[in-house]
């Protein structure tokens, strides 16, 4: 797995100034953190720029940091098929909300729905339905304060609509 | 309405029970890995057919529910409906730890055993039980059916012990 080179990260920094921060490189995997306000232009740049061409959204997920504010960070794993490099992008979800990237990558559809049902992070600018859990399910099971055994829910919750 | 026990009725009951236990038609339905063992048990090497067990594809033709596998909370209403669609008389066998108690999957999305939704006649422990264990379950069930009192009122309490 080849991640983007250092020089390319400098390009990002020049383009977006301090709104993009470089996170420590872990085992050759580069990560950048981006402000929520410029997430969409930033992602659009990554997708369309000649030097990046990130045309594939490999994964979209979130991490829960209980007690921190904002609590969730949304993580995007991007891949460029023509240029054969990867990049991980993190974006803190202030007020548990981030803009949707569904216009850029259709693959984000189900992934965002899954993040929504598991963490309760809302993606603005799209219709959100839970993907696997029943629509009436009141909790978010992948949050760290959710017990593994689950919480008691009334039976009707599990009925099919 | 009470029907008194007599030679004729007793013989008739035996005939009915003989017919019932010789043609147990289970539903071809499995939810997880135990289903593979059920397929093995039904295929030529272990050959369920010689017990009069023929798998049917619709619950309306079945009188036996062999529940193979983990039951998720979302699947539970469907299994209940399948059970209700089966005509009386009907029996249920819970195969494997998952159908007995939920096994290690003690999570919010797994049902803790088939007996939460359906009355179970025979439990087969194992993960997954061998096809031989399926035979034993069938033989136990046949013994149970043999003691059944389908006509005589009040006979059932007697045989449930
Ligand atoms: S009891 Fe074991 S083999 Fe059977 S469904 Fe559960 S996990 Fe799979």
Per-domain residue ranges of chain A: 2-96
Please tell me the predicted confidence (pLDDT) of residue A4. 85
Instruction: With CA atoms as reference, report the closest residue to A132 among B74, B31, B33.
Output: B74
The C-alpha of A128 sits at a distance from chain B's nearest C-alpha, in angstroms, of: 20
* Nearest CB to A160 within list B77, B107, B109: B77
Please tell me the predicted confidence (pLDDT) of residue B153. 62
Please tell me the predicted confidence (pLDDT) of residue B158. 47
- The CATH code that applies to domain B24-150 is 3.40.50.12280
- Element spanning B55, H or E: none
Q: Say if residue A54 is exposed, middle or buried (CB neighbours under 10 Å; 0-12, 13-18, 19+).
A: buried
> Cα separation of A118 and B71, whole Å?
20
Please tell me the predicted confidence (pLDDT) of residue A91. 93
**Taking the domains of chain B in order of start, what are their residue ranges?**
24-150
Please tell me the predicted confidence (pLDDT) of residue B3. 56
Over the stretch A97-108, which tens digit does the pLDDT of each residue have? 999 999 999 999
**Contact (CB, 8 A) for B128 and B134:** no
| Cross-chain residue pair A149–B109, CB shorter than 8 Å | no
At A92, the pLDDT band (50, 70, 90 cuts) reads very high
A2-96 folds as: Beta Polymerase; domain 2 (3.30.460)
Q: What is the dihedral of CA B145, B146, B148, B151, to 10 degrees?
A: 120
- Element spanning A93, H or E: strand A85-93
Spell out the residues 6+ positions from residue B37 whose beta carbon is closer than 8 angstroms to its own: B68, B95, B128, B129, B130, B131, B134
- pLDDT, chain A, mean: 89
Helices in chain B by DSSP H: which ranges?
7-22, 34-42, 76-85, 96-101, 131-146, 155-160
Task: Name the token pair of B41.
Answer: 């048990």
Please tell me the predicted confidence (pLDDT) of residue A1. 63
Q: Which of B73, B81, B104, B117 to mutate to test the interface with A (most CBs of A within 10 A)?
A: B73
Please tell me the predicted confidence (pLDDT) of residue B161. 36
Q: From the CB of B33, is ligand 1 less than 6 Å away?
A: yes
Measured CA to CA in angstroms, residue A99 lies from A21, A49, B66 at distances of 19, 20, 47
Please tell me the predicted confidence (pLDDT) of residue B151. 74
Q: What is the dihedral of CA B57, B58, B61, B64, to 10 degrees?
A: 80
State mean pLDDT over A93-99: 90
> Cα separation of B161 and B156, whole Å?
9
Q: For a pLDDT cut of 70, what percent of chain A falls above it?
A: 99
Please tell me the predicted confidence (pLDDT) of residue B140. 92
Tell whether B116 is within 8 A of chain A (Cβ).
Answer: no
Please tell me the predicted confidence (pLDDT) of residue B4. 60
Entry pTM? 0.79
Please tell me the predicted confidence (pLDDT) of residue B50. 87
What residues in chain B have per-residue pLDDT under 70? 1-5, 152-161
| Cross-chain residue pair B107–A134, CB shorter than 8 Å | no
Please tell me the predicted confidence (pLDDT) of residue A10. 87
State mean pLDDT over A148-155: 82
**Does A11 score more than 90 pLDDT?**
no
**Contact (CB, 8 A) for B120 and B98:** no
Residue A25 CB: number of other CB atoms within 10 A?
12
**Does A138 score more than 90 pLDDT?**
no
Instruction: With CA atoms as reference, report the closest residue to B31 among B103, B77, B98.
Output: B98
At A24, the pLDDT band (50, 70, 90 cuts) reads confident
């Amino acid at each position: 797995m080849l991640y983007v080179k250092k020089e390319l990260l400098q390009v990002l920094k020049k383009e977006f100034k301090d709104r993009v921060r470089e996170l420590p490189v872990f085992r050759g995997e580069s990560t950048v953190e981006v402000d929520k306000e410029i997430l969409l232009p930033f992602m659009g740049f990554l997708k369309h720029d000649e030097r990046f061409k990130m045309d594939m959204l490999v994964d979209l997920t979130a991490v829960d940091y209980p007690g921190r504010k904002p609590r969730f960070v949304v993580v995007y794993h991007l891949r460029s098929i023509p240029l054969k490099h990867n990049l991980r992008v993190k974006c803190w979800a202030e007020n548990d909300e981030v803009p949707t990237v569904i216009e850029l990558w259709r693959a984000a559809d189900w992934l965002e729905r899954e993040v929504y049902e598991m963490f309760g992070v809302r993606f603005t600018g799209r219709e959100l339905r839970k993907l696997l859990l029943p629509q009436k399910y009141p909790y978010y099971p992948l949050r760290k304060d959710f017990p593994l055994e689950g919480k008691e829910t009334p039976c009707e919750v599990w009925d099919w609509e | 309405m009470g029907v008194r026990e007599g030679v004729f009725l007793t013989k008739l009951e035996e005939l009915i029970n003989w017919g019932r236990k010789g043609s147990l038609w289970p539903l071809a339905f499995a939810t997880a890995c135990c289903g593979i063992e059920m397929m093995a048990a039904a295929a030529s090497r272990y050959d369920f057919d010689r017990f009069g067990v023929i798998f049917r594809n619709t619950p309306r033709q079945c009188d036996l529910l062999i529940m193979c596998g983990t039951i998720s909370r979302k699947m539970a209403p469907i299994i209940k409906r399948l059970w209700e669609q089966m005509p009386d008389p009907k029996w249920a066998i819970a195969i494997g730890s998952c159908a007995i108690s939920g096994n290690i999957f003690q999570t919010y999305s797994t049902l803790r055993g088939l007996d939460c939704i359906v009355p179970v006649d025979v439990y087969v422990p194992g993960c997954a039980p061998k096809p031989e264990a399926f035979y034993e379950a069938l033989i136990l069930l046949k013994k149970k059916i043999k003691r059944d009192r389908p006509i005589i009122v009040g006979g059932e309490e007697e045989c449930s012990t």
